[in-house]
Each structure stands twice: as structure tokens, then as C-alpha cells.
Structure 1
Amino acid sequence: YPVQIASYRKAIKVTVDGPREPRSKQSYGYPHPGAFNPFMLNPAWLDAAYMT
């Protein structure tokens, strides 16, 4: 499943780039819900998808 792998790598990239940038830490809440919603939802459904 190339799509799963792509989204998995993308999630990892977002996870690495997120905490890395000081701005991301500051805007951890509201400014970018679209960007941070997947970030918070990824670990849960990603693990399920990866294990399945």
C-alpha cells in the first residue's frame, strides 16, 4: 500500500518538523487546527493502519 507508506512518512516528517520549530510549539493550539489535527490524530489511526 504505497498510500499508507506515503502518509506514514509524511506523518513522521510532520512529527519531526513540528516540535523542531519554535513557532510550531507556540501555535500548538488554535492557529492551524488543520495542520495539527492530523498531527494529533496520526499516532492513533497510523498505528492501527500500520499494524493492519
Structure 2
Amino acid sequence: MNRYYEEEFKNKIVRLHLEEGRTLKSLSEEYGVSKSGISIWIKAYREECSTNHELK
């Protein structure tokens, strides 16, 4: 079953990983999101940053 997550929530999780160094495992356990889901969000964020220079 797919769950819907707000963009703000996804951005928070990505920020915690990239800026604060939180592990996927700890974020998954704390927020109840799969590690693979978080990985997808991180990949999408990095792709967005590489194409949209205003986010850098």
C-alpha cells in the first residue's frame, strides 16, 4: 500500500539526512517511513538540485 507524504515532510526527512547526518535506519524507525522511500526522496532532491541551480 502506497502512502502519501506531504512535500514539507519529505523535505524535513531529506534535510535531517543530508545536513545532520541522520542514518536512513534511524529516520525510518523514528518516522515510520521505509528506508527505500527515503532513498528515493534523497535521489529526487539531488536530481532537482543538479538541474535547478537556485536550490544550491
Specify if TM > 0.5: no
> Which of 1 and 2 has higher RCO (CA within 8 Å, sep 6+)?
1
Query: TM-score w.r.t. structure 2 length?
Result: 0.37
Query: TM-score w.r.t. structure 1 length?
Result: 0.39
Going by fraction, where is helix more abundant, 1 or 2? 1
